[in-house]
Structure 1
């Protein structure tokens, strides 16, 4: 087979692939990419679009780049003893909220970033990278980490807003500690913030029942 023939075959193959790609895009329609990204990212899609000033092209590029960079991360296994340690720490910080809400929220921020690193995500000192990676694998709950981080570092946030941040962050905590639990185990359940707790979270220390 001559060199010219090989080149012609390659050109034909490339043209066929390009044509197939264009046909697939045409079948998807103009909103096909947006629909696919919305299905994958859920609420994270809307937040990304807003962050880019409703510039859909920039938002889509951002999301595609995250998938390309962090999509291959695989959750590392969480040993039962390690999980129990994290569950115990979360329970303590929830209870501590009554007397020290701001510290409890700061502790939640630190704990979530540590668990994420344990599961194979970027280390806590690479905060933005960690958030971007979590947004690919936990798009429905990653905002919980952003919320506690904002609350922990905002001097004007109210006690009620701190409480809501902690409640919001719990979903990501459950994602990170439940995913990959070894089969056959019966992991300890974290004590939820109950209605009784909610009624007391806003009471200052020493106010009584």
Structure 2
């Protein structure tokens, strides 16, 4: 075998190895994308649409998972859950006479329940991002309800919009009150 033939075989071998490595990398990346898409549902699409590229969006979602895994989430004690359920009933009852106030109160109640569960609650966007790790569909509704609440503050929300916001808040309050999981039982985020 001459040197030219040996060189060609070495080059071919390197190309095959590089091709296999690239295939393995893209397969791993595809599985990671599928896992994130499955976990975050509509929130995955929202983040990808807002990001410069898919890699940055997926990195943000993995950061959310990491941040969430560091929370000390706790289930509510039965007494606290009962108090929040009574408060929610009051918010719903208030809707009949004062829908605008009911939406404000519902928004405040969600923040209080999240805080009681152990979520950081200083900033709405961060609160919604944190919530999206475990409840992505509800997070979409929460974002929508919050937009209606903002419009409500400016006197720009219709009664039907206020009803939609209240319904979304109700779904979120119910899930937060019923969720007995803590970080010990949540899925660990994928390390990259």
For residues 2-49 of structure 1, the C-alpha deviation after alignment (integer angstroms, 9 at most, x for no partner) is xxxxxxxxxxxxxxxxxxx97753434x63332111111112112222
Matched, 1:71 2:69: yes
- Cα deviation for residue 96 of structure 1 reads 0.9
* Cα distance change on mapping 1:169 and 1:47 into 2, 3 Å: farther
Look up the match of 1:38.
37
* Cα distance change on mapping 1:26 and 1:170 into 2, 3 Å: same
Map residues 136-151 of structure 1 onto 2, 5 A cutoff. 136-151=133-148
TM-score normalised by L of structure 1: 0.68
Q: Hey, what's the Cα distance between the residues in 2 that align with 1:122 and 1:22? A: 40
* Cα distance change on mapping 1:26 and 1:101 into 2, 3 Å: same
Q: Hey, what's the Cα distance between the residues in 1 that align with 2:120 and 2:24? A: 35
Q: Hey, what's the Cα distance between the residues in 2 that align with 1:87 and 1:114? A: 12
Look up the match of 2:90.
92
- Cα deviation for residue 113 of structure 1 reads 0.8
- Cα deviation for residue 79 of structure 1 reads 0.8
Q: Secondary structure at the match of 1:141?
A: helix
Q: Hey, what's the Cα distance between the residues in 1 that align with 2:54 and 2:26? A: 18
Q: Hey, what's the Cα distance between the residues in 2 that align with 1:128 and 1:95? A: 28
Which gives a bigger RCO, structure 1 or 2 (Cα 8 Å, sep 6+)? 2
- Cα deviation for residue 116 of structure 1 reads 0.5
Q: Which runs of 5+ in 1 are unaligned?
A: 1-20, 182-209
Q: Hey, what's the Cα distance between the residues in 1 that align with 2:135 and 2:72? A: 12
For residues 42-72 of structure 1, the C-alpha deviation after alignment (integer angstroms, 9 at most, x for no partner) is 121122222326x322211211121122233
Matched, 1:177 2:180: no
Q: Hey, what's the Cα distance between the residues in 2 that align with 1:145 and 1:179? A: 17
What's the RMSD between the two structures over aligned residues? 2.4
Q: Which runs of 5+ in 2 are unaligned?
A: 1-20, 182-192
TM-score normalised by L of structure 2: 0.73
- Cα deviation for residue 162 of structure 1 reads 1.1
